[in-house]
Structure 1
Amino acid sequence: MEKILEVKNLELSFHTFAGEVKAIRGVNFDLKKGETLAIVGESGSGKSVTTKAIMRLLPESSSEFKNGQILFNGKDLTKLSDKEMQKIRGKDISMIFQDPMTSLNPTMTIGNQIMEPILKHQKIGKAEARKVAIDLLRLVGMPKPEARIKQYPHQFSGGQRQRIVIAIALACNPQILIADEPTTALDVTIQAQILELMKDLQKKIDTSIIFITHDLGVVANVADRVAVMYGGKIVEIGTVDEIFYNPQHPYTWGLLSSMPSLDSADEKLYAIPGTPPDLLYPPKGDAFALRSDYALKIDLEEAPPFFKVSDTHSAATWLLHPDAPQVEPPLAIVERMKKFPGSRYYEGTEGGTY
């Protein structure tokens, strides 16, 4: 499948009064045409910073690209001027932000807000742009779009506002849609509707999606591949089934173990001990070592490279080194692995519930 985006060895720092925060430390991933890549991890792991770096939305006064490339259709976005990025941002790459109310202008009708990127990036008149805006509202499931196009953000519910934000992001048929925790501010029922809408839209408009979330339950329903981030690095990447049913990094084990399930209703939920590292002083070895029950001596001294698990799955953990001792993952993870062909625990029952 054709790669539309390649992030290569990306390093990015913030310059603060306290010193240099090394927020992104050698991130590598690609995005293929028509796929959904989910980037997951705790707050502070670097998910949103990575995607804002792709959009070039970080303040130039305090942020700095230290190394690496962001190749969009072969063009390095880190080298483009602001004017060149304005032609790409909103047209070829769009973003849906976390809180729809802060993304919308309360003084403008939603029709004018949807029409704005259309008029900026497409050579069409106002009347035609209005028709496109109505069609977009209809596409995202807004009832009576002809009437509602004249209304203001405060006249809509939270779920409807998120639909409007999605319509704005889709206005110019972007090649890449970045969704930064788009369902966090919504209740569970509306979350499900928005996720279903995004899956449906992807089939209709054939766009590639980068989906940022800390909620692994959301990932299972929307993603083709998953990248797990921790301490400014990607620590594991694979297909959604590989990450859910054959995870290899202790951090991924922790995230999955802390997910509630119908089977564990009466059990105490697992919580990963400790806190993420302070990236003013990045750790020398594996950033997760001090929080892990499975850390080896080498984890404190040297950062692990990526070890290949399959053609589509790799993880940065010394536990995958040929000379590493074989450890037993947590019981909840072993139960998952029993359902995955190729896992050493496989018992012949394919699939399962996330």
Structure 2
Amino acid sequence: MSNETILDVKNLSVSFKTPNGEVQAVRDVSFSVGKGETLAIVGESGSGKSVTTKALMGLLPAPKGYIKNGNILYGNEDFAKLSDKQMTKYRGKDFAMIFQDPMTSLNPTMKVGTQVMEGLRMHRGMNKEEAKKEAVRLLELVRIPDAEARMNQYPHQFSGGMRQRVVIAIALACDPKVLIADEPTTALDVTIQAQILDIMKDIQEEFETSIIFITHDLGVVANVADRVAVMYAGKIVEIGSVDELFYNPKHPYTWGLLGSMPTVDQREEELFAIPGTPPDLLHPPKGDAFAPRNRYALKIDYEEQPPMFQVSDTHYAATWLLHENSPDVQPPASVQQRIDEMNGKWEAGK
């Protein structure tokens, strides 16, 4: 992974117009992605992670969804300022996306090989023979056995895991600089999930592709990411290297996510849960959005949003608990025990 920044998102805010008013789905989000880096964006449903990536790709459902503020800087371009027509130059070629359900990405009436070849011919100018040869290579790269024969099959003849591999091959066809994977393993069983994650790691090494990996599962993050951004109620509440997030989490929401991860030897009654529900982003709270669910909330949490406090050169968290005048609060013992257990298992598996 190089130090070169390939994508720089600054103060991005995305809203949706609804009959009841403006839903502020993404609020003042900033992050960067380096060349060859995997950044995981983690959070529960409704945290704004998928909306953020749709904004990056120019896929917001206009006019209902729109970028209210901010910049999405890629080279000399600001994607936040481009029209849908201007974005077509970058979609597929520079930026590619892998969606959660491969059947929504694949045309059921077209052979798989034809679908992989389409991007090669359109964006890379290959003739039919060149495209066919490269399509077979890409299907082999994503570990589809007997790739040449399977080029002539239709999506319904593939299992869910194999279909997801085809979608990855299509995304790679144009040699994108940034690959956005939106919960690509959610619908798959654990064994297939692990295989897909291995493929993603191989891709990153071979192509030096930057990957933005969207997930609600911190267990997936440990195996695939270099850095992690934790989102809650449309904001990034903590960001740091994967080691920093797992060994030294600072935001109570991150503690909750780590503590609620199940383990194989855990009894059902031991599972930690974050109390309450996320706020309504039609009327975002005045202070810290997590305060009503945070047993360590301070008075200021209900009055003022916390800034991003610096923990290290690469680690930041938006919680008033990091203020020099706040009480010294550590993760609850049950959560700390879970974090220690997971870190021990993760370290053993490294």
Q: Tell me whether the two structures share a fold, i.e. TM-score over 0.5.
A: yes
Q: Shift of the alpha carbon at 1:129?
A: 1.1
2:315 match: 313
1:345 match: none
Q: Shift of the alpha carbon at 1:87?
A: 1.2
- Structure 2 counterpart of 1:228, which letter? V
Alignment deviations for residues 67-88 of structure 1 (CA, whole Å, 9 cap, x no partner):
1000112410011122221110
**Residues 353, 327 of structure 1: alpha-carbon distance in 2 compared, 3 angstrom cutoff:** farther
Distance in structure 1 (CA, Å) of the matches to 2:160 and 2:65: 32
Q: Shift of the alpha carbon at 1:157?
A: 0.6
> Structure 1 vs Structure 2: percent identity of aligned residues?
68
- Structure 1 counterpart of 2:78, which letter? D
1:273 match: 275
Gaps of 5+ in 1: 340-349
1:229 match: 231
* Contact persistence 1:48–1:212 (CA under 8 A): yes
**Residues 266, 283 of structure 1: alpha-carbon distance in 2 compared, 3 angstrom cutoff:** closer
SS of corresponding position for 2:311: strand
Q: How does 1:155-304 map to 2 (within 5 A)?
A: 155-262=157-264, 264-265=266-267, 268-304=270-306
1:16 match: 18
SS of corresponding position for 1:23: strand
**Residues 57, 324 of structure 1: alpha-carbon distance in 2 compared, 3 angstrom cutoff:** same
Alignment deviations for residues 269-309 of structure 1 (CA, whole Å, 9 cap, x no partner):
01111111110010110000001101000000000000000
Q: 2:108 aligns with which of 106, 124, 128?
A: 106
Alignment deviations for residues 91-113 of structure 1 (CA, whole Å, 9 cap, x no partner):
10000000111211101111111
Distance in structure 2 (CA, Å) of the matches to 1:338 and 1:194: 27
1:343 match: none
Distance in structure 1 (CA, Å) of the matches to 2:84 and 2:134: 28
1:97 match: 99
1:120 match: 122
1:84 match: 86
2:149 match: 147
SS of corresponding position for 1:236: strand
SS of corresponding position for 1:67: strand
Distance in structure 2 (CA, Å) of the matches to 1:37 and 1:22: 23
- Structure 1 counterpart of 2:303, which letter? E
Alignment deviations for residues 232-283 of structure 1 (CA, whole Å, 9 cap, x no partner):
0000000001101100000001000101135644751011111111100101
Distance in structure 2 (CA, Å) of the matches to 1:41 and 1:353: 24
1:36 match: 38
Aligned length: 345
TM-score, normalization: structure 2?
0.95
Distance in structure 1 (CA, Å) of the matches to 2:206 and 2:44: 32
* Contact persistence 1:87–1:121 (CA under 8 A): no
Alignment deviations for residues 168-194 of structure 1 (CA, whole Å, 9 cap, x no partner):
000011000000000011111111111
Gaps of 5+ in 2: none
Distance in structure 2 (CA, Å) of the matches to 1:201 and 1:303: 39
Q: Shift of the alpha carbon at 1:132?
A: 1.1
1:346 match: none
**Residues 353, 125 of structure 1: alpha-carbon distance in 2 compared, 3 angstrom cutoff:** closer
Alignment deviations for residues 132-170 of structure 1 (CA, whole Å, 9 cap, x no partner):
111110111111111110110000011100000000000
Distance in structure 1 (CA, Å) of the matches to 2:154 and 2:336: 51
Distance in structure 1 (CA, Å) of the matches to 2:317 and 2:254: 10
